[in-house]
Amino acid sequence: MRIEEGVKLDFKDVLIRPKRSTLASRKDVDISREFTFKWSARRFKGVPIIAANMDGVGTFAMAEAFEKNKNGLTVALHKHYPIKDLLGFFKKNGGKSVWYSIGITDDDQKKLKEFLKSDVQKSGKGIEKLCIDVANGYSEQFVDFVKKIRDLDSGLTIMAGNVVTGEMVEELILCGADVVKVGIGPGSVCTTRKMTGVGYPQLSAIIECADAAHGLGGLICADGGCTVPGDLAKAYGGGADFVMLGGMLAGHDQAEQKIVKEGGTKYVQFYGMSSKDAMTKHKGGVAEYRASEGKSVKISYRGDVAGALQDILGGLRSACTYVGARRLKELSKRTTFIRVTQQINTVFGNE
Ligand code: 5GP
């Protein structure tokens, strides 16, 4: 047994120190980024926010809303659309604004291979970006899978995760990942830390993993734990290239889920992808050998996602003006974190 004594930080443990700036208005700030991916050599330009591949968030409707928003946001589609629906979506919209998500099961592989052989893929409107997503990115089997997919198609942009430490980020990048997804346990409907005691404070994970990835010409996506727009600023300030959001984008019209009305108030059910609700819906129940590692919560219906996006993008632009970053790319260079014992005044509640 060993103990690491260095303090590891979460978003709530820090604030960003303001800096002198020549920026006159938040309108002068460009919060989009341009990347050329290490392996696929494809280019990306847009605001690097990704909707999580979860029921109620990673939906076709969300992708269409992001398309309408015109800032280049992308959606990681959840894994449970039938291939017929996926082909239909790509045929109509192309693959620019979405990540096709898969796990590492045989069924996932079969579905992907079928898609890659389809006329939609051949027409050039198919999959460009792939999100290979498992709860625990530390298994050898996962690393082998990433290699296999890289060998299968050199032109696909691959995001793979989740991990939280530099050495595993390096391994995944060397095995063919363009982007490594970072986060174990910080999610709004995740119970991994409670069930297993395993995890890593998200801001420190981002800082350490970004350093490892950038050293090899790779990128990271900070996944989970953002609760307010300021958390995104902290994630980018810590070195994240992309940020993935679940809970902050849940409960909207784009959820493709039933809106329940109770006593005049509207609710939407939001659940983790390894919660009992998700496993019952998609797999007919929780397998005997595993416990559920996600929870299910009833959240207030929040209308069109456009309103949430305006808040998030506005907050991010404003963060850049406070530290004098004309472009999002400069935010991490201009960020000094200060450790705090209190960050938000809750006298009138947490909202
Ligand atoms: P949020 O933005 O809601 O804080 O976090 C979203 C992330 O939580 C997702 O992208 C995914 O990585 C993670 N997540 C989603 N469902 C579950 C789950 O059931 N269990 C765990 N451990 N993590 C989940």
pLDDT tens, position by position, 271-319: 999 999 999 899 887 766 666 789 999 999 999 999 999 999 999 999 9
Q: Tell me, what's the pLDDT at 284?
A: 80
Q: Tell me, what's the pLDDT at 27?
A: 84
Q: Is 190 a catalytic residue?
A: yes
Section 247-273 average pLDDT: 96
For ligand 1, whether the C-beta of 294 sits within 6 Å is yes
Percentage of the chain lying above the pLDDT 90 cut? 91
Q: Tell me, what's the pLDDT at 289?
A: 63
320 CA to centre of ligand 1 in angstroms? 27
Q: Tell me, what's the pLDDT at 134?
A: 95
Assess whether pLDDT exceeds 70 at residue 115: yes
Q: Tell me, what's the pLDDT at 26?
A: 82
For ligand 1, whether the C-beta of 161 sits within 6 Å is no
* Cross-strand partners of 262: 265
For ligand 1, whether the C-beta of 202 sits within 6 Å is no
Assess whether pLDDT exceeds 70 at residue 73: yes
CA-nearest of 8, 6, 21 to 318 is 21
Q: Whose CA is nearest to atom 13 of ligand 1?
A: 187
Distance CA 181, CA 154 (A): 19
Strand ranges (DSSP E) for the chain?
14-16, 33-36, 43-46, 49-51, 74-76, 98-102, 129-133, 157-163, 179-182, 219-223, 242-245, 260-262, 265-271, 296-300, 337-339
117 CA to centre of ligand 1 in angstroms? 31
53 CA to centre of ligand 1 in angstroms? 9
Percentage of the chain lying above the pLDDT 70 cut? 98
225 CA to centre of ligand 1 in angstroms? 8
Most informative mutation of 49, 54, 194 for ligand 1 (most atoms within 8 A of CB): 54
Question: From the candidates 190, 209, 221, 320, which is the catalytic residue?
Answer: 190
